[in-house]
């Protein structure tokens, strides 16, 4: 109970659920607590009743033997036979009342978790299962055929109960068909009108979904059902994870099948354009070597779609063997969900649009109305805030601390309105989050740095244009710079550190724009974005 309450409070404080959802979840936990408390009391009562019945049986047998032998003068065998039979008969009579009490106790216990009332619940539960009446009616009919039982009474009652169950089953089937036809009529796509009819609205033809996932017909089974949850449930978890990690509210992802695709292929689209594609085998497991070596288990060679690592599709029966060899083994649904999550991270800056920005501002306005009113539209526009947030997400800087970001933008907007420079001001304000994000397990930031002379020369060649900051270098100089950075970064990669390049604030953005196309995994940080309390270990210097 305390753990569940703390989980609800944590989700509510993180903004992952609304107050109404938190209230409903707390109410559900309260009902569960009442139910299990009632079950505990009922079980103790039934247990005590059973123990009392056993004690009574022992007392009856011992007392009967004593009375029969001492008072009636019976021998032990006759007394034992007589009073044992009487005790068993008395026990059977008592068990009927005990059975009724136990059934009544169970019915009343289930009432503790109900909100509709005992009669409503019993009616719904009994009438909702017509097969129960058919089985009971058949049992009564069979009992009526046993010699010595009143055949007319039992057979008649059995026929009435079974017939009621049959007619109830027919009525429910008819109601289900009507409901299914109504749902199909609502969900079925409308037929396209004839050309020139004017029945279709132009806005309907222009509507584009923000995020789409198209799957081949071989992957339709992964959407709803899987051993670890369907894609619908997994994508919901991904949206929560991205919200907690980056602070981005991912729009609803539309999933649909596409007969044009190969049966095991899928396509991820952003506003109608393809941004990622892959293929998985739902009947096999993806096996990967964490060290990047070849797979020693027979399977179908392939490439892991997220990070392009060599992998192999192996049978489900080989899973335990692969895990014993130290390989990483995941199912097809997990591969697709991981690819979806990483694609959202890479394109987070494109997913964030004006509606999402307004939603974030409205959420902050409820807590800090003065900050939002001071900034928008007095100092900057909503579009400028959107560009700042997109610039942060482009380099995977979380925007969860929206108040700190807007405060930095408000301070910087008094001297410049350029979103690029406002983004750099926000990065400096988020120095703690950036430092913690790129800190290694040993507590230090491992990186390579530009040589001081090279940093000074590049600072003199910075070119500033509206909406762009770059370096005025020739093609050969740019190629030499990229090669020098690549050589230095390899020392980090070989030691399994994240590739990070340090430079001064003046050239950070220009250097990032230059290396983004050739080295997309490289993180470019300025010295001012790392807290003084964080240790920085420079493994190499970039020199040309």
The predicted-structure confidence for 462-494, as pLDDT tens digits, reads as follows: 999 888 999 999 989 999 999 999 999 998 988
Q: What is the pLDDT of the chain when averaged over all its residues?
A: 83
pLDDT at 179 over 60: no
Rg (CA), the chain: 36
pLDDT at 205 over 70: no
pLDDT at 425 over 50: yes
- Highest mean pLDDT (candidates 32-36, 93-97, 157-161, 429-433): 429-433
* Residue that has been written with the tokens 């539209």 in this structure: 377
Sheet bearing 273-279, strands edge to edge: 253-257, 211-215, 265-270, 273-279
- List, for residues 52-66, the tens digit of each pLDDT value: 777 877 887 788 778
Q: What is the mean pLDDT of residues 435-464?
A: 94
Look at 10-24, 223-237, 272-286, 359-373 and tell me which has the smallest mean pLDDT.
10-24
pLDDT at 104 over 80: no
Per-residue pLDDT at 458: 94
Per-residue pLDDT at 198: 45
**Confidence at 118, pLDDT banded by 50, 70, 90:** low
Per-residue pLDDT at 36: 66
Residue % of the chain over a pLDDT of 70: 82
* Tokens of residue 519, six digits: 């080295």
Q: Is the distance from CB of 339 to CB of 276 less than 8 angstroms?
A: yes
Per-residue pLDDT at 469: 93
Query: What pTM, to 2 d.p., does this model score?
Result: 0.62
Q: Angle 505-515/475-494 helices, nearest 10 degrees? A: 90
- CA gap 301, 308 in Å, rounded: 12
- List, for residues 237-294, the tens digit of each pLDDT value: 999 999 999 999 999 999 988 889 999 999 999 999 999 999 999 999 999 988 777 8
- CA gap 386, 508 in Å, rounded: 21
Q: What is the mean pLDDT of residues 496-518?
A: 93
pLDDT at 360 over 50: yes
pLDDT at 503 over 50: yes
- CA gap 164, 134 in Å, rounded: 8
Nearest to 501 by CA among 426, 446, 544: 446
Q: Which carries the bigger pLDDT value, residue 335 or residue 4?
A: 335
Per-residue pLDDT at 434: 95
* Tokens of residue 208, six digits: 């584009």
* Residue 133 half-sphere exposure toward CB, CA atoms < 13 A: 19
b/e code 501-526 from CB counts within 10 Å (16+ = b): bbbbebbbbbbbebbeeebeebbbbb
Q: Is the distance from CB of 305 to CB of 278 less than 8 angstroms?
A: yes
Per-residue pLDDT at 195: 38
């Amino acid at each position: 109970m305390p753990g569940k309450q703390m989980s609800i409070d944590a989700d509510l404080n993180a903004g992952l659920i609304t107050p109404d959802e938190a209230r409903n979840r707390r109410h559900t936990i309260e009902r569960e607590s009442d139910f299990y408390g009632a079950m505990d009391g009922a079980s103790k009562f039934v247990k005590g009743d059973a123990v009392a019945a056993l004690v009574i049986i022992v007392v009856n047998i011992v007392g009967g033997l004593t009375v029969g032998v001492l008072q009636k003068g019976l021998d032990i065998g006759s007394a034992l036979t007589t009073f044992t039979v009487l005790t068993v008969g008395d026990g059977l009579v008592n068990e009927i009342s005990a059975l009724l009490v136990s059934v009544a106790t169970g019915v009343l216990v289930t009432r503790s978790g109900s909100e509709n009332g005992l009669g409503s619940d019993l009616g719904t539960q009994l009438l909702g299962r017509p097969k129960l009446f058919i089985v009971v009616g058949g049992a009564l009919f069979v009992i009526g055929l046993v010699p010595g039982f009143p055949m007319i009474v039992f057979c008649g009652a059995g026929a009435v109960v079974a017939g009621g169950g049959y007619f109830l089953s027919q009525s429910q089937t008819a109601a289900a068909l009507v409901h299914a036809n109504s749902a199909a009529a609502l969900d079925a796509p409308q037929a396209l009108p004839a050309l020139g009819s004017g029945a279709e609205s132009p806005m309907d033809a222009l509507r584009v979904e923000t995020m789409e996932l198209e799957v081949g017909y071989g992957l339709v089974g992964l959407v709803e059902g899987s051993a670890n949850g369907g894609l619908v449930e997994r994508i919901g978890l991904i949206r929560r994870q991205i919200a907690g990690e980056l602070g981005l509210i991912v729009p609803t992802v539309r999933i649909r099948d596409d007969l044009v695709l190969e049966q095991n292929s899928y396509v991820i689209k952003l506003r109608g354009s393809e941004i990622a594609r892959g293929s998985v085998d739902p009947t096999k497991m993806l096996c990967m070597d964490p060290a990047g070596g070849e797979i020693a288990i027979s399977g179908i060679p392939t490439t892991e779609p997220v990070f392009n690592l060599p992998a192999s599709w192996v049978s489900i029966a080989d899973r335990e063997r692969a895990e014993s060899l130290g390989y990483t083994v995941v199912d097809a649904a997990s591969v697709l969900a991981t690819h979806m999550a990483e694609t959202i991270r890479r394109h987070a800056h494109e997913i964030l649009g004006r509606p999402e920005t307004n939603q974030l501002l409205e959420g902050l306005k409820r807590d800090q109305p003065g900050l939002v009113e001071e900034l928008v539209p007095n100092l900057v526009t909503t579009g400028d805030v959107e560009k700042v947030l997109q610039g942060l997400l482009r380099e995977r800087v979380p925007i969860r601390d929206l108040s700190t970001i807007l405060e930095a933008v408000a301070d910087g907007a008094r001297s410049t309105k350029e979103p690029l420079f406002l983004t750099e001001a926000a990065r400096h304000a988020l120095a703690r989050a950036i430092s913690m994000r790129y800190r290694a397990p040993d507590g230090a930031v491992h990186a390579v740095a530009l040589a001081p002379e090279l940093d000074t020369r590049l600072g003199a060649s910075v070119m500033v244009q509206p909406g762009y900051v770059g370096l005025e270098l020739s093609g050969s100089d740019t190629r030499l710079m990229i090669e020098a950075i690549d050589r230095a970064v390899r020392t980090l990669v070989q030691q399994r550190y994240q590739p990070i390049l340090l430079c001064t604030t003046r050239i950070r953005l220009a250097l990032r724009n230059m290396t983004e196309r050739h080295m997309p995994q490289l993180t470019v940080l300025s010295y001012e974005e790392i807290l003084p309390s964080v240790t920085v270990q420079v493994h190499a210097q970039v020199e040309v």
